[in-house]
Amino acid sequence: MKVYLETYGCQMNVADSELIRSILVEAGHELSPQVDDSDVVLVNGCAIRENAYRKTYGRLDLLRPLRLERQRESRPFVVGVLGCMAQNMKEALFRHPVVNLVAGPDSYRALPDLIAKAGRPKEGGHRSGRRPKIKKEIDADLSIVETYSGVEPLRFDGVNAWVVVMRGCDNFCTFCVVPYTRGRERSRPKDEVLEEVQGLAEEGFKQVTFLGQNVNSYRTEGASFADLLLGAAEVPGIERVRFTSPHPKDFPEPLLEAIAAHPKICSHIHLPLQAGSDRILDLMKRTYTRTEFLSLVDQIRATIPNVALTTDLIVGFPTETEADFQDTFDMVERVGFDSAYIFKYSERIGTIAARDFPDEVSPKVKTDRIVRLFDLQHRIALEKNRDKIGKTFEVLIEGEAEKRVGHQIGKTEGHMMVVFPSTGLPPGALVPVEIKEASPAALFGEALRLSVLNA
């Protein structure tokens, strides 16, 4: 069958879609770049906030005419929802008239089987003179062991390869749906991960990004997360090793030292703060106080010179007062993050916060707070980026700049985007770029030498 797959949500879903493609192709299906001539449409959906739901439902609504057309033609048509959205909603997704397959993040090995069953018309429909009924198939059982060992992700070519090193989350931050959609933490054996990295280097990937819901909680018998990073950084051909998303609770000294010591492990840490008030941090169950977070930042900066720090923040968590918000504002000012993702609290059914605390901060107040925080972060990022003018950074070229003809884009080690006149060098090359201009989200400069440093 021809399968069209669309992905929403975070890098974990993107990486899972690479597994899904591999499983489907292995089973004899063909991947299709468009919906119209597909027999199977799969939407790998996210559940993290209400707008993630809306995106998937919006996509499903657009499939209504095609579902009706296929029904008229009595041609099999499977529409499946996958990922965190599937795990979170389960059978309730069948209330949407186009959906007839649901599979959660630990059920992808069953997909070929589910597709085969869902694609077969229900028996008896024809005999009664009516159109055959649509069959509905679901597998949304979470596993405590599934890591898709032996499934080789089907990646598109590029400079960066995502490598899932652990799955699941055991933290149960009170606002978050992920522990319910992704299940318990489990890590892949170090040798298996490093073998994959080796293969990626041979295929020409220059950067690997280790992924996990709590990537630095990675641990197996005999290997820590620091061991894993160091192992990957030693693989010939790999120029950069990154990881996301870590939790502030798992940054032991040896991990920071590994990042500091190895030039190929990027000096960039995404350190989700979420909120700046101790009372709110406690209600969120984040397991650190503002003082502890600040001392971790100090320790990181003392160990890893020029480290880039980025973060995630939530405004409008239940009971957040103006004073609590000021604490977040104050923390953002004090730390001076290089960039931040800022979200309005979105109540998720089934979470501890949804059970215990009403979502009482008004939409207006949430908007007001997010705008103030955006403005602050904008100012901080601009200041930090302006400080980079006149300095030279090593940039990993990603490709042509879409918005500036004759320019290329790439990233610094600190994950900042750099735009510069085309060098003629291919994606994957490393070039020194002198920074001439700065905006809050990007740097603009000129490549110094047209030589490939390490390619």
Question: Can you give the binding site for ligand F3S, defined by CB under 6 A?
Answer: 9-10, 12-13, 46-48, 83-84, 177-178, 181-182, 213
If binding is defined by CB under 6 A, does position 179 make contact with ligand SF4? yes
Give the contact letters, 349-368, x = binds to ligand SF4 (CB under 6 A), - = no: --------------------
What's the start-to-end Cα distance of the chain, in Å?
A: 40
Check binding of 183 to ligand SF4 (CB under 6 A): no
Beta-strand runs (E) in 261-389: 268-270, 308-315, 339-344
Which part of the chain contacts ligand SF4 (CB under 6 A), choosing from 109-117, 171-179, 374-382, 408-416?
A: 171-179
The nearer residue to ligand F3S, 246 or 427, going by C-beta atoms, is 246
The one of ligand SAH, ligand F3S, ligand SF4, none whose footprint includes residue 172, by CB under 5 to 8 A per kind, is ligand SF4
119 binds, among ligand SF4, ligand SAH, ligand F3S, none (CB under 5 to 8 A by kind): none
CB distance 367 to 316 below 8 Å? no
Question: If you search the block for the tokens 């201009």, which residue do you land on?
Answer: 437
Assess 247 for contact with ligand SF4 (CB under 6 A): yes
Contact between 205 and 161 under an 8 Å Cβ cutoff? The reply is yes
What is the rounded CA–CA span in Å between residue 167 and residue 169?
A: 7
Among the residue ranges 73-81, 110-118, 164-172, 406-414, the one whose residues contact ligand SF4 (CB under 6 A): 164-172
**Spatial CB neighbours of 108, under 8 Å, sequence gap ≥ 6:** 16, 19, 20, 23, 82, 148
Closest-CA residue to 315 (of 381, 365, 349, 350)? 365
Smallest gap, in angstroms, from Cβ of residue 189 to ligand SF4?
23
User: Judged by CB, which is closer to ligand SF4: 30, or 50?
Assistant: 50
**Token reading at 13:** 């879903």
CA distance to 33, 108, 203, per residue, from 114 (Å): 21, 9, 32
Told to check if 213 binds ligand SF4 by CB under 6 A, we report yes
348 vs 388 by CB, closer to ligand SF4 = 348
Cα–Cα distance for residue pair 375/357, rounded to 1 Å: 29
C-beta contacts of 167-170 below 8 A and 24+ residues apart? 167/12, 167/105, 167/212, 167/213, 168/213, 169/213, 169/214, 170/214, 170/217
CA dist., res. 455 & res. 452, Å (int):
6
DSSP-assigned letters across all residues of 280-301: HHHHHT-S--HHHHHHHHHHHH
What residue has token string 């409008």? 316
- Which lies closer to ligand F3S via its Cβ, residue 265 or residue 313? 313
Give the interface size with ligand SF4 as a residue count (CB under 6 A).
10
**Quick count: other Cβ atoms within 10 Å of Cβ 394?**
18
> Which one of ligand SAH, ligand F3S, ligand SF4, none interacts with residue 345, CB within 5 to 8 A by kind?
ligand SAH
Q: Find the binder of ligand SF4 among 12, 15, 169, 443 (CB under 6 A).
A: 169
Residues that bind ligand SAH (CB under 6 A): 48-49, 175-176, 178, 213-214, 245, 247, 272, 274, 312, 314, 343, 345-346, 348
Using CB distances below 5 to 8 A depending on partner kind, what does residue 179 bind out of ligand F3S, ligand SF4, ligand SAH, none? ligand SF4
Q: Which of 7, 56, 107, 171 binds ligand SF4 (CB under 6 A)?
A: 171
Q: How far is the CB of 169 from ligand SF4 (least distance, A)?
A: 3
> Residues in the site for ligand SF4, rule: CB under 6 A?
169, 171-173, 176, 178-179, 213-214, 247
